[in-house]
Amino acid sequence: MSEHHLYPVKPEIAAVAHIDADQYRRLYRQSISDPEGFWADQARQFLDWEQPWQQVMQCDFLNGDIHWFMGGKLNASVNCLDRHLDTRGDQIAIIWEGDHPDYDAKLTYRELHREVCKFANVLKAQGVRKGDRVCIYLPMISEAAVAILACARIGAVHSIVFGGFSADALRDRILDADCRLLICADESYRGGKIVPAKINADKAAAQCPNLTTVIVIKHTGHAIPWHPERDICYRAAMAEASADCPPETMDAEDPLFILYTSGSTGKPKGVLHTTGGYLLYAAMTHKYVFDYHDGDIYWCTADI
């Protein structure tokens, strides 16, 4: 658009904003003139590290050889959960509202931490270890966040597949990432309609020889096909799992997750995100772009 549109910030919002225009310009200039110093400052401010890094960055854009916070050690689930337990343990971490107004739930940081540790132990009981790939094919339910953080806790690399994708699209992403375990729902609701998630998962799994386990979250509770030699009930497994799961120490450059492009212009391409760099990007964005303050409710309208 050629016409400029200005949307003035309300004075009451500007007064408490984390950053103003002058501060933004100073930070930007520092990021250009002293990138190593800038990113080191941000990484120390936003993240908890088990071990500090030896080198902030090594960036060869010509050859695509890019590394961040080399030698640094941390864990994503610790940064998202554990470090908040003393000060925010009883604060609401997730508010979930489903497709129907009567479907809702809330989880505190302490409750979410407990669920994450339990599911991390469920995954470990199925032989999932650091570096293994786990496919998450779920609707927007609170268990999706639990699954993501549980994978991060034990160092498994999660690959999220949009819950509305077909069995073929799911199969292609499972095969490409060589996932050994799939997490799905029995069904999901979308726009008032039921999506047959487990049926799609079964069709995909039949064509993925290295996929040995499917963990099923019974969301709608309707009858679904069941393969006892492969399928595991989420709730039954969680009922037996311990709530104590020490986090895996991860290198800053260890993979955190793989997210695939849509495939609309060709074969879907898996984009790998590493632990330290992605966590810092997400934390900075949440503070400076969304201007999040303690107690605010961030409304996420996107799928995982």
Q: CA distances (Å), 40 to each of 51, 74, 174, 212, in order?
A: 14, 15, 36, 42
**pLDDT at site 169:** 95
Distance CA 1, CA 5 (A): 9
Please state the length of the chain: 304
Reported pTM: 0.94
Burial 69-107 (b: 16+ CB within 10 A, else e): beebbbbbbbbbbbebeeeeeeeebbeeebeeeeeeeeb
Does residue 289 carry a pLDDT above 60? yes
Span 11-289 CATH architecture: 3-Layer(aba) Sandwich (3.40)
Give me the mean pLDDT over the 25-34 stretch: 97
Dihedrals phi, psi of 60, to nearest 5 degrees: -115, 90
**pLDDT at site 2:** 53
Does residue 137 carry a pLDDT above 50? yes
Query: For residue 3, what pLDDT band results from cuts at 50, 70 and 90?
Result: low
Does residue 131 carry a pLDDT above 50? yes
Q: How far is CA 162 from the centre of its chain?
A: 13
- Residues 6 or more apart whose CB falls under 8 angstroms from that of 23 comprise none
* Residue-wise pLDDT tens digits, 216-255: 999 999 999 999 999 999 999 999 999 999 999 999 999 9
Query: For residue 301, what pLDDT band results from cuts at 50, 70 and 90?
Result: confident
* Residue-wise pLDDT tens digits, 150-196: 999 999 999 999 998 999 999 999 999 999 999 999 999 887 889 89
Distance CA 205, CA 170 (A): 9
How do 270-274 and 231-233 pair as beta strands? Answer: unpaired
Distance CA 201, CA 217 (A): 12
**pLDDT at site 1:** 46
